[in-house]
Amino acid sequence: MRLAVLSDIHANLAALDAVLADLDRSQAVDAMWACGDTVGYGPQPNEVIARLQERGARAVMGNHDGAAIGVVDVTWFNDAAAAAIRWTATVLTDASAAYLADLSDREEEGDLTVVHGSPREPIWEYIVSPEVARANLGAYATRICLFGHTHFPVLYAADDGGVREVEAPAGSSVPLPAGRLLLNPGSVGQPRDRNPDSSYLVLDLAAQTAQFRRVPYDIARTQRLMREVGLPAWLVERLRHGR
Ligand code: ZN
């Protein structure tokens, strides 16, 4: 069983298509997961949702997804994020809104629990350290938790009562440590780790390996579309810097 794990696509179709092309070139997968924030920030929410549906991807709800359909409070968003959510809400088709409304904030399948933020706070908590990861071990029952939200790729492994971060350089397959794991594929559509390339993860449950991958995409195209629809300049600019 080999899985493609995507997160925080944020309505960036050029980035998603680059990731899918990279996947098609490099390896076949049996399933695809999206760990939330499929929309928000970016210029093509309907197109991104349609693409995930074409690919049979499964997904959970992120804070931006819920905000775009009015089920998550936008009070906690910064001004630019909130402006992008208001724009997104005006362009979502009925079909896209129904797709987002159907998303659960937590899914479980086999060895996997899938959330956007964290198992104990699926919409809002950021898992930003081994300590926060450790504090979440009791909040899910499976071996593996897939999450997003921080826009930073990371592999955490439970170890001797603690959690440690496991080195997993992009492009190389690393063996999965035995025991319980939490993995964040990084962001497809708005990377924030000072690398503007899209980030995603291929998880091979048969071979027990994880491979983080980085993929350049046509950033200028996404930026042009964002300017055309009047999305905030700071959101346009940050894509270039990956932060
Ligand atoms: Zn996000």
- What separation in Å is there between the alpha carbon of 111 and the centre of ligand 1? 24
Mention every residue, 6+ apart, whose C-beta is less than 8 A from residue 58.
Answer: 31, 32, 33, 34, 107, 109, 114
Cα 185 vs. chain centroid, distance in angstroms?
7
- What separation in Å is there between the alpha carbon of 207 and the centre of ligand 1? 29
Q: Which pLDDT tens digit goes with each residue over 18-55?
A: 999 999 999 899 999 999 999 999 999 999 999 999 99
222: confidence class by pLDDT, cuts 50, 70, 90: very high
pLDDT at residue 160 tops 90: no
Length of the chain: 243
Cα–Cα distance for residue pair 28/31, rounded to 1 Å: 9
- What separation in Å is there between the alpha carbon of 160 and the centre of ligand 1? 31
pTM above 0.85, yes or no: yes
CATH class of 2-241: alpha beta
CB-count burial class (<10 Å; 0-12, 13-18, 19+) for 94: exposed
Token pair recorded at residue 208: 């027990």
- What separation in Å is there between the alpha carbon of 116 and the centre of ligand 1? 9
Rounded average pLDDT over 140-166? 96
Domain ranges of the chain: 2-241
Q: Which pLDDT tens digit goes with each residue over 105-141?
A: 999 999 999 999 999 999 999 999 999 999 999 999 9
Radius of gyration of the chain (CA): 17
* 205, 111 contact by CB (below 8 A): yes
- The beta strand positions in 87-188, using DSSP E, are 106-109, 112-115, 144-146, 153-159, 162-165, 173-175, 181-185
- What separation in Å is there between the alpha carbon of 149 and the centre of ligand 1? 5
- What separation in Å is there between the alpha carbon of 19 and the centre of ligand 1? 17
Q: Which helix or strand (DSSP H or E) is residue 18 part of?
A: helix 13-26
pLDDT of residue 161: 86
